Amino acid sequence: MTWLMVGLGLAIVVVSLLGGVLPLATVLTHTRLQVYLSLAAGTMLGASFFHMLPEAVELGSPDVLRTAAIGLLTLFFLERFFSFHHHETGENDPHEGHNLAHGQSLNWGAAAVGLAVHTLISGVALASAASADLARGPTLGAGTIGVFLATLLHKPADALTIVSLMLRAGVSRPITHLVNFAFSLMVPVGMLLFWVGSHWLGEGGSVSLTAHALAFSAGTFLCIALSDLLPELQFHTHDRIKLSVALLAGFVLMGSTAAWEDTSHAHRGDSNGKPNQ
């Protein structure tokens, strides 16, 4: 199980690295970027509502939803003061001015701090989802797969942000990719922090930690998804069908992993009588 988690963490590191190469390898038009962001945001919304929030409530109590609100606000204020989540830095968006105005005030040093915290939290999200699965049954289930897929799909967006900001600031490509690599390592670091905290708290505390960490992460997922979706909604009207289909595709993907989980849970219930603790 530990090795599986190591594998999931490594996969995210690799995808982050590829995400950093993306702006150099392809012409990332505004529309392509927005279609991708809509798809990624749909999976994050779906992961939050289909997996993380229900599992956090099931493991803890409805009170954990307050922790979700704290997670949402944490990411909101992080973005307000560190501006780490602007995926478009102005250059590739010819038909408008608001991104450019923001782009000029973006500073990759400040963005780096915000992005480091954001990436660390996505590691905690993955580890808490795995821990929630293991609290309910013998194997990792759709909750972990859902959070993993949402994180995997979202990571190139973060890599894109930091790499384009640094390249624009005149930093050399090797240093840029090294920094991007260092960022991706924050995912395994976040996972490790969760496991250490969980062992330190012991059996009873660890379930409560899992419930709250999962709810907090769900709140951060909601904030990230909406901050990727709302600027496009507010400022543009192009490709509305294409973007809506991408958003729904991500959301439905998560819904179907949840449906698959329901059947596998029913199956577990038949063979075990009750979920393993």
265 binds Zn ion, rule: CB under 5 A: no
Report CA torsion sign: 257, 263, 265, 267: negative
Site string for Zn ion, 168-187 (x = CB under 5 A): --------------------
State the nearest-atom distance from the C-beta of 31 to Zn ion, in Å. 7
Cα separation values, 44 from 8, 61, 150, 228, 273, Å? 17, 22, 5, 11, 32
State the nearest-atom distance from the C-beta of 110 to Zn ion, in Å. 15
State the nearest-atom distance from the C-beta of 96 to Zn ion, in Å. 7
Select 60 or 156, whichever has its Cβ closest to Zn ion. Answer: 156
Binding span for Zn ion by CB under 5 A among 2-10, 70-78, 200-208, 236-244: 236-244
Q: Whose CB is nearest to Zn ion?
A: 236
- Cβ-Cβ contacts under 8 Å for 86 (sequence gap 6 or more): 99, 102, 103, 106, 111, 161
Select 131 or 184, whichever has its Cβ closest to Zn ion. Answer: 184
Radius of gyration of the chain (CA): 19
Binding span for Zn ion by CB under 5 A among 16-24, 133-141, 207-215, 234-242: 234-242
Select 41 or 132, whichever has its Cβ closest to Zn ion. Answer: 41
Select 35 or 134, whichever has its Cβ closest to Zn ion. Answer: 35
Binding span for Zn ion by CB under 5 A among 14-22, 36-44, 152-160, 174-182: 152-160
**Distance between CA atoms of residues 91 and 94, nearest Å:** 7
**Distance between CA atoms of residues 58 and 141, nearest Å:** 15
**Distance between CA atoms of residues 177 and 131, nearest Å:** 32
Give, as ranges, the residues between 194 and 233 that touch Zn ion (CB under 5 A): 232
Question: Can you tell me which of 236, 256, 260, 265 binds Zn ion, judged by CB under 5 A?
Answer: 236
User: What is the CB-side half-sphere exposure of residue 65 using CA atoms within 13 A?
Assistant: 7
State the nearest-atom distance from the C-beta of 118 to Zn ion, in Å. 5
Binding span for Zn ion by CB under 5 A among 17-25, 132-140, 235-243, 258-266: 235-243
- Cβ-Cβ contacts under 8 Å for 109 (sequence gap 6 or more): none
State the nearest-atom distance from the C-beta of 234 to Zn ion, in Å. 10
The amino acid at residue 47 is A
Question: Can you tell me which of 79, 88, 158, 261 binds Zn ion, judged by CB under 5 A?
Answer: 158
Cα separation values, 260 from 27, 112, 145, 248, Å? 37, 37, 11, 18
φ/ψ (deg, to 5) at 261: -65, -40
Number of shown-chain residues binding Zn ion (CB under 5 A): 3
Binding site for Zn ion (CB under 5 A): 158, 232, 236
